[in-house]
Structure 1
Amino acid sequence: MTSFKDHFSGHAGDYRAFRPTYPDGLAAALADAAPSRGLAWDAGCGNGQVAVALAARFRTVHATDASAEQIAQAEPHPNIRYAVSPAEAGGLPDGCCDLIVAAQAAHWFDLGRFYAEVRRAAKPGAAVALVCYALQRLDDPALDAAVERFHNGTLGPYWPADRWKVVNGYRDLDFPFAALPAPPLAMEAVWPLPRLLGYMNTWSGVKAASRAFGRNPLEAFAEEIAPLWGDPERERRVRWPLTVRLGRVA
């Protein structure tokens, strides 16, 4: 099997519990771009967040991830068939897909090989999309500044190099498909402080820094942010703008 950059298998349960949910508008925009709604492939599906949304709009969703642990945590759905498979070898017949999407995953792929697989598996005129989200935004500038210091400063040396492709909004990724317009979209949630910290604890940079320090740096960050947040059970609005690079396979 193709090797892959595995930063999440060790905490797949936390990933499912704490990661935010994509807006309905994302699945709607992707479905509208597809030439028909037969088969969608969610490559690097993680625990199936996008796959489940697409399952309401496509007859079948083929959802793959190279991590068996992530697939084990995926949400079952009668229209979804999950498989442990790398994005570079999706296990699909030639020319079968109406849509191929990779959400918060393409920066880990061997893109040249993935794009070859996209062209092989896509129907003529199929839609292809790369989706990502970077740092969350809160409802207070002081909180945002504290999160940025933690993300860029404390964790800066410990992020995998591919993380910065996400921070740059995939602007630097090769995308050799005819571009299609995508609507502005964002994930939104209303969370208390423990929920936000649980989400941040799924970050690959936190895991790497914890191994280097011998302790979790999120503990010190929690102490720093607590007086800025106030009552930890106070719910605050959290927002992640999405980058959607949408295209058409010739």
Structure 2
Amino acid sequence: MSHRTENTFRQFDQRKANVYAKVRPDYHPSVYDTIINQHTSTGGQLGTLIDVGCGPGLVMHTLAPHFNHAIGLDASEGMIAAARSANLVTGSSESVRFEVGTAEELTRDVSHQVQEASVDLITVANAAHWFDMPKFWESAARVLKPGGSVAMWTSGEIRVHPSVPNAAAIEAAMYRIEEDHLTPYRHAGNELVRNGYVDLSLPWTLTPPVNEFDESTFLRKIWNLKEEFFTGSRELDLDTFEKIMGTGSAVVRWREAHPHDVGTERDVVKMQRREIERSLHEGGVNEGEERVRGAYAPHAQ
């Protein structure tokens, strides 16, 4: 799959990044526990963490306290500004450092802070689908210590939980609206997310392979419907649903192309909301009681 540079979030200013940070839910503690446990069980240490594609710094709130040093990298100056405003600290009470940088040039971007072969864990939360993966793996191999780890995860395809009244009709309506309106605004990276990263390039699948990574220690975990992937209730009121869906890159691009429709009944997310409301009412839900439960097919690897 050819690489396409992601420019949607890269162009966010701090205001947009703050909105993104406020709306996006954090990952459930079980996600972070899986990462730390897998890393330490294979010999990984808790010295230095780098979160690549860190956005407004969401992951650092939970993971940075496990480490002595932590750096967040993102290509968006707005996202980095938002992350810095949180004033996060590590387990050694050192400030988390947030810097503008790219996944493909880790050594160049952080060389004044971190030497080669000095990073214990690299994390990538819902961002690897925008990377040039061969360059990323080569760069990651240079900065990781022996025994270091890379952990990356994605939310996968968002589905409607089968317990929701008229769930099949809601899913069909959402899919139809996506296909009719968002298809021109979905990039290859969006498809990688929908497929749960099953086609994401791994070090040993490249030509030539990046041999510094040990395939025998590889773990792919799929969260099932009984497991929480995000914090908080899976039940969402439709106002919250609109806000979360509005942070998706395809929706952001659609809204940039249709500025006069944003927030109106012609807004693509508003269309989805109206279809959800209609289907819920048909399923016996009273007006004012509309809520949805999300079911995910998330992956970590």
State the TM bucket, normalised to the shorter chain. 0.7 to 0.9
Quick one: structure 1 residues 126 and 23, their matched pair in 2 at CA, closer, same or farther if it must change by over 3 Å? same
Q: CA deviation at 1:233?
A: 5.5
Distance in 1 separating the partners of 2:151 and 2:170: 32
SS of 1:63 mapped into structure 2: strand
Query: 1:196 is matched with which residue: 215, 232, 241?
Result: 241
Counterpart position of 1:227: 278
Is it true that 1:121 corresponds to 2:143 in the alignment? yes
Structure 1 unaligned spans of 5+: 246-250
Confirm or deny: 8 A CA contact 1:29 1:182 kept in the other structure: no
Counterpart position of 1:180: 218
Distance in 2 separating the partners of 1:158 and 1:4: 14
Deviations, residues 67-110 of structure 1 (Å, cap 9, x unaligned): 01111222331122211111122313111111111111111111
Counterpart position of 1:5: 6
Is it true that 1:64 corresponds to 2:73 in the alignment? yes
Confirm or deny: 8 A CA contact 1:194 1:232 kept in the other structure: no
Structure with bigger gyration radius = 2
Is it true that 1:112 corresponds to 2:121 in the alignment? no
Q: C-alpha root-mean-square deviation of aligned residues, in Å?
A: 2.2
Is it true that 1:165 corresponds to 2:221 in the alignment? no
Counterpart position of 1:155: 182
Q: CA deviation at 1:235?
A: 4.0
Structure number having the greater strand percentage: 1
Counterpart position of 1:133: 155
| Aligned AA (1:81) | R
| Aligned AA (2:101) | S
SS of 1:128 mapped into structure 2: strand
Distance in 2 separating the partners of 1:220 and 1:237: 18
Indicate the larger mover: 111-120 or 53-62.
Answer: 53-62
SS of 2:158 mapped into structure 1: coil
Q: CA deviation at 1:61?
A: 2.0
Q: How many residues align?
A: 243
Confirm or deny: 8 A CA contact 2:170 2:275 kept in the other structure: no
Confirm or deny: 8 A CA contact 1:12 1:69 kept in the other structure: yes
Quick one: structure 1 residues 227 and 40, their matched pair in 2 at CA, closer, same or farther if it must change by over 3 Å? same
Query: 1:218 is matched with which residue: 251, 269, 289?
Result: 269
Quick one: structure 1 residues 152 and 53, their matched pair in 2 at CA, closer, same or farther if it must change by over 3 Å? farther
| Aligned AA (1:112) | P
Distance in 2 separating the partners of 1:40 and 1:17: 24
Counterpart position of 1:86: 102
Query: 2:28 is matched with which residue: 8, 23, 31?
Result: 23
Identity value in percent:
29
Confirm or deny: 8 A CA contact 1:94 1:122 kept in the other structure: yes
Distance in 2 separating the partners of 1:232 and 1:82: 42
| Aligned AA (1:187) | F
Q: CA deviation at 1:237?
A: 2.7
